[in-house]
Amino acid sequence: MAKVGSNTGNQTAERVYSYYPGCSQLATAEEYDVSARLVSRKLGIELRELEDWICCGASAAHSTDHWLSLALPAHTLKQAEEAGLPLAVPCAMCFSRLKFALHELENKETRDIVSHIIEKELSTAVAVEPMLKILADESLPIPVVKPLSGLKVACYYGCLLVRPPEVVKFDNAENPQTMERLMQRLGAEPINWGLKTACCGAGVAFPRLDVVLKLSYRLLSLIKASGADCVAVACPMCHANLDMYQKDMKAKFGEKLDLPVLYFTQLMGLALGFSPKELLLNKHITNPLPMLRKKELI
Q: Please give the residue ranges that form the binding site for another protein (CB under 8 A).
A: 23-24, 26-28, 30, 51-55, 57-68, 71-72, 75, 113, 116-119, 159, 163-165, 173-174, 198-199, 201-204, 206-208, 210-211, 214-215, 244, 282-285
Q: Looking at beta carbons only, is 4 or 27 nearer to another protein? A: 27
Q: Looking at beta carbons only, is 182 or 257 nearer to another protein? A: 257
The burial class, CB within 10 Å (0-12 / 13-18 / 19+), for 125 is exposed
Instruction: Please state, in angstroms and as integers, the Cα–Cα distance from residue 297 to each residue in 5, 57, 179, 245, 279, following that order.
Output: 35, 38, 19, 25, 14
Q: How far is the CB of 75 from another protein (least distance, A)?
A: 6
Q: Looking at beta carbons only, is 63 or 149 nearer to another protein? A: 63
Q: How far is the CB of 22 from another protein (least distance, A)?
A: 9
Check if the beta carbon of residue 250 is closer than 8 Å to that of residue 286. no
Q: How far is the CB of 11 from another protein (least distance, A)?
A: 37
Q: How far is the CB of 173 from another protein (least distance, A)?
A: 5
Q: Which of 94, 105, 117, 90 is nearest to 36 (CA)?
A: 90
Q: How far is the CB of 215 from another protein (least distance, A)?
A: 5
Q: Looking at beta carbons only, is 21 or 86 nearer to another protein? A: 21
Q: How far is the CB of 137 from another protein (least distance, A)?
A: 25
Q: Which of 290, 235, 233 is nearest to 258 (CA)?
A: 290
DSSP sequence for 56-68: --HHHHHHH-HHH
Q: How many CB atoms lie within 10 A of CB 71?
A: 20
Q: Looking at beta carbons only, is 43 or 215 nearer to another protein? A: 215
Distance CA 1, CA 181 (A): 21
Q: Looking at beta carbons only, is 62 or 111 nearer to another protein? A: 62
Check if the beta carbon of residue 238 is closer than 8 Å to that of residue 32. no
Residue type at 132 in one-letter notation? L
Backbone phi, then psi, for 141, in 5-degree steps?
-70, 140
Q: What is the DSSP letter of 2?
A: P
Q: How far is the CB of 117 from another protein (least distance, A)?
A: 5
The burial class, CB within 10 Å (0-12 / 13-18 / 19+), for 64 is exposed
Q: Looking at beta carbons only, is 67 or 256 nearer to another protein? A: 67
Q: Looking at beta carbons only, is 164 or 187 nearer to another protein? A: 164
Q: How far is the CB of 110 from another protein (least distance, A)?
A: 12
